[in-house]
């Protein structure tokens, strides 16, 4: 990636204003056009949103787009759209026991609305605040209940093991995606909540969040320190598989990437964004609280998180991105070699061999910026500037969707290329020119973050600042 070391958040103000002008129109366009009887919009086909039944993980992004656009524009009509749909449609996501996506759906809606109310962006109402907080508490507990305990294979002792929030594939399955959804556990913990189990056993939500992040780092984030043939520092596997009979780790796998031994770039981006966000949160907590929750010293936990964050961020910058900061869908995709030295050229979403996934870049750009901010001006400059450089690319064509009849905002999104779910337009050989709800949402989340930095406005986080 070619990093612009001089780029400042304020330099992107005109592009950000354009992004949110387009977003306001497209949020309204989808609101008018979408038939709710079809379920939740997931991705576009020929510019029109359609659904895909796998898990219901995108509805919060749909209404979150309206809320974030209000955040950036003060368009009160979009605030009301987000509030009313959250009230009417989001309750099933709070109590959904079958998914690992609570941090996506419920912090994008209930969480954003609570944050904006606390910032004084709309009138404070104590009962409405309680409503949002109850949803966050319940969602955090439901997510934490999807728990698998692990043991250390070397010692065979449960006390040396940990655990993880398992994916919709079942109790044997750890997904890299969940590094960004465990925010809901931290938010619920901060509100004083816990998961109550059999015999009134009280399970600490912060403790489960920490254990999940450490298990993820141990088993499906590579650190360049093992004998594994494909141990490239910062590479992530999409999935880790555990033996449910004894809790031992068995293998790495993938659902949406090319192979267990390559980097599915959107999976990488969930870690690039997830670990820095968690570091922002842990930094605010008392050492005694972290010790009580996890049995570990605050400094030790932060050091492990920082290592994971640095490794995945460096891998994104150095190994999987193109010169303009955009990624293809998997760095081991079988036809990628046909593009030649693709790392030393701008991404080409209209090539004939492998698709670009701009959503991975939108998610990762936010993580790079947050990690840079967390590290500070001297140590964090590389990451901050890399994130801003990626954002500048995404805020313009050919990634920004400017056609008024196209319902999406961020173009060149890939959902499940191995399954053939992504639309290949007529005359093309690979998927391009389509959008997704997660891509649109994360484009706006990225733009809102940079806009606030440029304006010296409150820095948006998922938790309450001290």
Each residue's pLDDT tens digit, 372-390: 999 999 999 999 999 999 9
Tens digit of each residue's pLDDT, the chain (466 residues): 999 999 999 999 999 999 999 999 999 999 999 998 888 999 999 999 999 878 889 999 999 999 999 999 999 999 999 999 999 999 999 999 999 999 999 999 999 999 999 999 999 999 999 999 999 999 999 999 999 999 877 776 665 669 999 999 999 999 999 999 999 999 999 999 999 999 999 999 999 999 999 999 999 999 999 999 999 999 999 999 999 999 999 999 999 999 999 999 999 999 999 999 999 999 999 999 999 999 999 999 999 999 999 999 999 999 999 999 999 999 999 999 999 999 999 999 999 999 999 999 999 999 999 999 999 999 999 999 999 999 999 999 999 999 999 999 999 999 999 999 999 999 999 999 999 999 999 999 999 999 999 999 999 999 999 7
- pLDDT (tens digit, 9 = 90+) per residue, 235-260? 999 999 999 999 999 999 999 999 99
Question: Is the distance from CB of 264 to CB of 272 less than 8 angstroms?
Answer: no
The whole-number pLDDT of residue 157 equals: 64
Give me the pLDDT at residue 189, please. 98
Percent of the chain with pLDDT over 70: 98
Q: What pLDDT shows up at residue 127?
A: 98
- 126-144 vs 205-219: helix crossing angle, rounded to 10: 50
Protein fold of 9-454:
Glycosyltransferase (1.50.10)
pLDDT at 54: 80
| The pLDDT value given to residue 159 | 59
State pLDDT tens for residues 43-82. Answer: 999 999 999 878 889 999 999 999 999 999 999 999 999 9
Summarize pLDDT for 301-316 with one digit per residue, the tens: 999 999 999 999 999 9
């Amino acid at each position: 990636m070619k990093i612009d070391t001089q780029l400042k958040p304020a330099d992107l103000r005109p592009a950000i204003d354009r992004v949110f002008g387009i977003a306001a129109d497209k949020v309204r366009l989808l609101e008018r056009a979408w038939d709710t009887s079809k379920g939740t919009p997931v991705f576009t086909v020929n510019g029109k949103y359609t659904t895909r039944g796998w898990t219901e993980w995108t509805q919060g992004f749909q209404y979150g787009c309206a809320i974030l656009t209000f955040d950036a524009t003060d368009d009160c009509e979009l605030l009301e759209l987000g509030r009313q749909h959250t009230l009417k449609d989001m309750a099933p996501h709070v109590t959904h026991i079958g998914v690992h996506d609570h941090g996506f759906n419920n912090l994008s809606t209930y969480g954003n609305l609570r944050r904006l109310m606390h910032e004084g962006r709309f009138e404070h109402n104590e009962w409405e605040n309680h409503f949002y907080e109850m949803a966050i508490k319940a969602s955090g507990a439901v997510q934490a209940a999807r728990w698998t305990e692990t043991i250390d294979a070397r010692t065979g002792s449960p006390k040396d093991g940990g655990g993880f929030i398992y994916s919709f594939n079942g109790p044997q399955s750890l997904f890299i995606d969940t590094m960004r959804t465990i925010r809901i556990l931290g938010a619920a913990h901060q509100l004083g909540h816990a998961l109550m189990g059999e015999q009134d056993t009280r399970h600490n939500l912060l403790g489960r969040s920490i254990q999940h992040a450490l298990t993820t780092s141990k088993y499906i984030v590579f650190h360049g320190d093992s004998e594994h043939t494909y141990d490239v520092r910062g590479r992530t596997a999409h999935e880790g598989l555990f033996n449910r009979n004894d809790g031992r780790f068995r293998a790495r796998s993938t659902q949406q990437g090319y192979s267990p031994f390559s980097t599915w770039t959107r999976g990488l981006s969930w870690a690039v964004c997830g670990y820095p966000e968690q570091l922002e949160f842990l930094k605010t907590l008392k050492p005694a609280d972290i010790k009580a929750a996890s049995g570990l010293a605050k400094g030790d936990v932060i050091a492990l998180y920082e290592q994971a964050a640095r490794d995945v961020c460096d891998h994104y910058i150095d190994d999987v991105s193109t010169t303009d900061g955009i990624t293809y869908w998997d760095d081991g995709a079988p036809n990628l070699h046909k593009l030649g030295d693709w790392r030393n050229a701008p991404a080409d979403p209209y090539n004939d061999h492998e698709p670009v996934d701009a959503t991975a870049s939108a998610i990762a750009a936010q993580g790079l910026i947050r990690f840079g901010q967390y590290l500070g001006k001297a140590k964090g400059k590389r990451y901050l500037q890399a994130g801003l450089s990626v954002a500048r690319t995404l805020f313009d064509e050919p990634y920004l969707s400017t056609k008024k009849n196209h319902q999406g905002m961020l173009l060149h999104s890939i959902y499940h290329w191995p399954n053939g779910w992504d639309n290949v337009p007529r005359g093309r050989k690979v998927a391009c020119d389509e959008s997704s709800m997660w891509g649109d949402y994360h484009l706006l989340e990225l733009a809102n973050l940079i806009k606030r930095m440029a304006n010296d406005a409150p820095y948006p986080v998922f938790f309450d600042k001290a």
